[in-house]
Amino acid sequence: MIYLDNAASTQIRDEVLSVINEELVNSFANPSSPYTPARKSRIAIDKARKIFSGILNCQENEIVFTSGGTESDNTAIKGPAKALENLGNHIITTTTEHHAVLHTCNSLEKQGFDVTYLPTDKYGMVSKESVLSAIKENTILISIIYANNEIGAINPIKEIGQALKKIKNKGSRFPLFHTDAIQAAPFLDLNIEELGVDLLSLSAHKFNGPKGIGVLYMKNGTPFEPLITGGGQERQKRSGTENIAFISAAAQAIQLAEDEKKQLYLKVSKLKNKIINQLKQNHPEIILNGHPLQSLPNIINLTIPNIRADDLISALDIEDVCISNGSACTSNSLEPSHVLQAIGISAKLALNTIRISLGRYNFENEIIEFLFIIDKILKRIKMNTPEIINK
Ligand SMILES: Cc1ncc(COP(=O)(O)O)c(C=O)c1O
């Protein structure tokens, strides 16, 4: 199999799998229980929290473990919004967010919140200026994706965060600033001081950890109403008996990813360039979506006019090659991707658009093989559809 859909999910690393097995056996006791084996479970969670806080450059008690990226995004937005609703009801986000943010904002709108969905430029990016000029007196929260999951566009989070810090230094505590760093995590800087964020979401399955475990960084003092109430775990922020094995595995995965960040960035950048150059050379009609430079090194989003993405994906699937036609959450939908629409791609061309996303387990030899297979398929589709060639 040639797996080129790493933005949807990544393969778990052996070292991470071992941690899951070990912790499932060794830390089975409920961490809230009052005896020695429970202490072992608590120590495992504390160790994981320390690893995340070290990488994010925050306090250990600012790390909240969740059930995944979707819950982290929901919590980051709904938690403060509910707590601040009497103070202000305006939220700013962008049109190219993941649905975990967009649908959360949509649901808050139904509850009386006023949401500004900032348009992006043709690359899927927002500018610091557009964010700052959208702020109103009653703006409580800004949520902007760090790097987009479909086109890889990287937003200027540091610039926006530092500008917001300056505004807040003059007195106001708001607006709070959240970023969905779920796709950015294995490649970009996660230092929350540098980024100037109050809230940041992560999901372990995007950096070779397991699915179903997420992290939310929440600055101490952030006004917050919990979404999940119960036994008061995670310092009252997220109740539920902790998933010790996956929490430990997520920490192991982020540590390994952090140690290899530079190498992985360079490796996938090289492979990305190889794919783009060869595809464009053999099929010059191909349109590259997203910014040529301000983009994640592992995501390639391409439109191949007159070639149906679904047909191409099925043909590649028969050859054991996995690619996608957008984000995994929307690829089953008949609606063209909201991200492609937001950057001005027509509904017709959106159906001709594919996403290839690279990861740790991709190597040059399989990329050469992939390029051979996709070239063969594209030539075959074009041959069987003479009207394409004549266009
Ligand atoms: C940018 C982004 N945000 C949120 C999510 C949701 O994360 P999870 O799958 O862990 O719920 C994803 C996953 O595809 C994503 O890419």
5-17 pLDDT, tens digit each: 999 999 999 999 9
Which CATH code of 2.60.40.10, 3.40.50.620, 3.40.640.10, 3.40.50.1820 fits the domain covering 14-259? 3.40.640.10
Answer yes or no: is the C-beta of 150 below 6 A from any ligand 1 atom: no
The yes-or-no verdict on residue 254 having pLDDT over 90 is yes
Residue by residue, DSSP assigns 79-103 as: HHHHHHTTT--EEEEETTS-HHHHH
Average pLDDT, integer, range 92-97 = 98
Mean pLDDT rounded to a whole number for the chain: 95
DSSP 62: G
Residue limits of CATH 3.90.1150.10 in the chain: 2-8+261-390
Percent of the chain with pLDDT over 90: 93
Tell me which residue of 135, 138, 140 sits closest to 225, measured CA to CA.
140
End-to-end CA distance of the chain: 34
Ligand 1 pocket mutation, candidates 71, 98, 178, 357, criterion most atoms within 8 A of CB: 98
Answer yes or no: is the C-beta of 149 below 6 A from any ligand 1 atom: yes
Question: Under a CB-based contact definition with an 8 Å cutoff, are residues 161 and 189 in contact?
Answer: no
Residue limits of CATH 3.40.640.10 in the chain: 14-259
- Quote the CA–CA distance of 360 and 357 in Å, as a whole number: 11
Residue 325: burial class (beta carbons within 10 Å; 0-12, 13-18, 19+): buried
The yes-or-no verdict on residue 21 having pLDDT over 60 is yes
Q: Whose CA is nearest to atom 5 of ligand 1?
A: 69
Q: What is the pLDDT of residues 328-355, one digit of tens each?
A: 445 555 678 999 999 999 999 999 999 9
Question: Which of the four pLDDT bands, split at 50, 70 and 90, describes residue 286?
Answer: very high
Question: Which of the four pLDDT bands, split at 50, 70 and 90, describes residue 202?
Answer: very high
Average pLDDT, integer, range 145-151 = 98
The yes-or-no verdict on residue 243 having pLDDT over 90 is yes
Contacts of 308 (CB under 8 A, 6+ apart): 351, 352
> What's this model's pTM, rounded to 2 decimal places?
0.96
- Quote the CA–CA distance of 148 and 180 in Å, as a whole number: 9
Answer yes or no: is the C-beta of 98 below 6 A from any ligand 1 atom: yes
> 77 CA distance to ligand 1 centroid (A)?
15
pLDDT at 297: 98
Average pLDDT, integer, range 219-243 = 97
Out of 84-98, 259-273, 317-331, which region has the weakest mean confidence (pLDDT)? Answer: 317-331
Which CATH code of 3.20.20.150, 3.40.50.720, 3.90.1150.10, 3.30.1360.30 fits the domain covering 2-8+261-390? 3.90.1150.10
Active-site residue numbers?
Answer: 329
